[in-house]
Structure 1
Amino acid sequence: MPNANGIPTQDDVKFFKENGYWLSPKIIDDERLSRLRERMERVYRNEFETGTPPEAIWSYEKGHPKTLRKTDMASYADLTIRALAYDPVIGEIAAALTETDTIRFWADQLLHKPEQSGGHASSVGWHQDYTYWKCFQNPETLLTAWVAYDDVDEENGCMMMVPGSNQWGLLNGSDFYEQNLDNQKNGMNVPEGQVFRTMPIVMKAGQVSFHHSLTIHGSGPNISDRVRRSSALHLMTGETRFRYDERHQYLSTKQFIASGGKDGDIVQGDMYPVIYKKGVTA
């Protein structure tokens, strides 16, 4: 169990290292969750508090209303969502799990899985985040904090983790958008002697799930009458180094290159704000 303030214990850190994920207690209160849900809807209506749109946005004019909605870098557009992305408590938990002194934020996604969306491309295929993050050299320094805006379980399409897959290296077959999860897992080159075992990550609204960039995860459709809303916050430690990869570039990495960043350099700068540094208080 974590400490009273939600920070992982050494046993929790050991669990994260062995299994590739860890679930926090509730650290986002109900009032804040209500604001986040309302701000999410504003972003979907193209109402951008800052005047800056997200890097990529889903809206009702694009696609089927029952498909998964994924909006990249909503933190550009809304200050409430940005405050969550830069949350120092989430940063401190990430630092404890990765046993580092510094955590930087580098990307976020709003994720909305509509109610009764089974059969409408609302699943998330089995994937390792690092498949899409090869612009960074060291996968062990990268992790995601997944913030539940609503209660989530298997009925409304909670995340599923494959325990221990963080230790299998980078596999073939990752596809975020794949809808047939049963067929997909048969195409992943699971190491000999390992078992593709799945664990549902059942959460209460306000809990945060953390996972390693090599941990295989995905989620099924929402067959319930309850919406599933969340933010995925992508974080890195202060040891993360850049690698040029033409296929996997983001606005922040393009800015890093424009500012003089080269292969092997420590990833830093205004586009990668520090959200936690040991011994420094806000």
Structure 2
Amino acid sequence: MNLHSKIQTPITQDHIDFYRENGFVQVDNMLTSEELAELRVYLEEAMQTESDRSLAADQKGGSYYRVLNQKINLWRDHAGMGSYSFHPRFAQSALELSGASGMRFFHDHGLWKMPGDSKATPWHQDTPYWPIQESEAGMMSIWITLDDVNEDNGCMAFVPKSHKLGKLTGIDFLNPQNIFDYIEGGQAEGQKPVIVPLKAGSCTFHNGLTFHYAHANSTDKPRRVLAIIFTPDGVTFDGKEHPVTNGLGLKAGEPIAGPRFPLLVKANV
């Protein structure tokens, strides 16, 4: 793939303006119907594969599992996932929304909100959990749903403009603190959360600093999502432990790069 070539995306100027102002944006029909059908098969197979990449430490039936059954770097367990985890349309969309000079892959993320005794994913930012030095790095996630989602089965909600409040404290998902308590002066008080139901194959993008939340799943089927985290080229490693970077020889202060973090797209200059 030519990193400088223009890849067709569904991103419009309205999407770009909304994302940069609010820290999130909804993009409908990111997947074709054929891609949606294929990804459902690949992701189901990858999530069922036994590996050490599951982040639900207590596994089935445990407290964390009821909040979120998740696995990272599925592309390493299922070759078919690579065509989606590194999909040029997704990376190009992220580049256009962010305005970065280049966009690298950080990791993918299977996110199953399990049925039955499900718990909500509490309000949080993503950036505090990533091993990066910059407080406002511009890292972002695409959240692609394989099922229609609403408030009954785990759709997302966002606080507009909350990405402008800076990097706060990470939240314990099992014993969640109120993230709004960490905001000096209550700057978010006038920013009403926006609930974002989606049709299968559609997605949201959100900045790593944007406050977001996922509803519990009260239905009898899993809510299936593929998230991919992108990092602007040049973001640096802080040296801390993280399952994505452990054992790769990255040094604190150096850019996150190398074979696990390929540069997927580059802006035309």
CA separation in 2, counterparts of 1:154 and 1:190? 30
SS at match of 1:71: strand
How much does 1:138 deviate?
Answer: 4.7
Letter in 2 for 1:12: H
Matches of 1:44 and 1:89, distance apart in 2: 23
Deviation at 1:272, TM superposition (A): 0.4
Q: Say which is worse superposed, 220-229 or 86-95, in terms of deviation.
A: 220-229
2:188 to 189, 194, 200: 194
Counterpart in 2 of 1:208? 203
Question: For the Cα contact (< 8 Å) 2:28–2:202, is it kept in 1?
Answer: yes
Cα drift, residue 94 of structure 1: 0.5
Percent sequence identity over aligned pairs: 24
**Are 2:249 and 1:250 aligned?**
no
Structure 1 position 139 matched with structure 2 position 136: yes
Gaps of 5+ in 2: 1-7
Moved over 4 A (4+): none
* 1:10-54 deviation line (CA, Å, top 9, x unaligned): 33222112110011121212222222222233234326xxxxx45
Equivalent residue number for residue 56 of structure 1: 54
Q: Is the CA contact 1:158–1:201 (under 8 Å) kept in the aligned structure 2? A: yes
Structure 2: how far apart are the matches of 1:14 and 1:44?
A: 35
Contact 1:125 1:178 in 2 (8 A): no
Read off the aligned partner of 1:135 and give its amino acid letter: I
Rounded Cα–Cα distance in structure 1 between residues aligned with 2:183 and 2:208:
17
C-alpha distance in structure 1 between counterparts of 2:25 and 2:119, whole Å: 24
CA deviation after TM superposition for structure 1 residue 225, in Å: 4.0
Amino acid corresponding to residue 164 of structure 1 in structure 2: K
1:30 aligned partner: 33
Task: State the secondary structure of the residue aligned to 1:200.
Answer: strand
User: In structure 1, how many angstroms separate the alpha carbons of the residues matched to 2:19 and 2:196?
Assistant: 14
Residue of 12, 15, 23 corresponding to 1:12: 15
Within the candidate set 218, 223, 228, 1:223 is matched to 218
1:185 to 1:121, Cα distance in 2 relative to 1, 3 A: farther
What 5-or-longer segments of structure 1 have no aligned partner? 48-52
Q: Which amino acid aligns with 2:95?
A: A
Contact 2:9 2:92 in 1 (8 A): no
TM-fit CA distance, 1:134: 3.7
Pairing partner for 1:126 from 123, 127, 130? 123
> Cα distance, 1:224 vs. partner?
2.8
Deviation readout 1:117-170 (Å, 9 max, x if unpaired): 3xx343211110011014342533211111111111111110111111100012
Q: Distance in 1 between matches of 2:40 and 2:11?
A: 27
1:84 pairs with 2:84: yes
Cα distance, 1:88 vs structure 2: 0.3
Question: For the Cα contact (< 8 Å) 1:103–1:235, is it kept in 2?
Answer: yes
TM-superposed CA distance for 1:186, in Å, is 5.3
> What TM-score do you get using the length of structure 2 for normalisation?
0.84
- The alpha-carbon distance between structure 1 residues 193 and 112, as it changes in their structure 2 partners (threshold 3 A), is closer
Alignment counterpart, residue 21 of structure 1, candidates 24, 32, 56: 24
Q: Is the CA contact 1:27–1:206 (under 8 Å) kept in the aligned structure 2?
A: yes
Q: By how many angstroms is 1:204 displaced?
A: 1.0
Q: Which amino acid aligns with 1:132?
A: Y
Q: 1:162 aligns with which of 159, 162, 180?
A: 159
Question: 1:85-105, CA deviations, whole angstroms, 9 ceiling, x for partnerless residues?
Answer: 101001111001111231111
1:114 matches 2:117: no
Q: Deviations over 1:200-237 (max 9, x none)?
A: 11111111211001001111211234431001111111
User: Aligned pair 1:273/2:239, yes or no?
Assistant: no
Contact in 2 for aligned 1:56/1:73 (Cα 8 Å): no
Pick closer, same or farther for the CA change 1:209–1:54 going to 2, 3 Å: farther
Check 1:189–1:45 CA distance in 2 against 1; reply closer, same or farther (3 A cut).
Answer: same
SS of 2:38 mapped into structure 1: helix
CA distance in 1, matches of 2:107, 2:188: 31
The counterpart of 1:152, out of the listed 135, 140, 149, is 149
Residue 50 (structure 1) aligns with: none
- Residues 104 and 177 (structure 1 numbering): CA distance in 2 closer, same or farther, change over 3 Å? farther
How many residues matched? 258
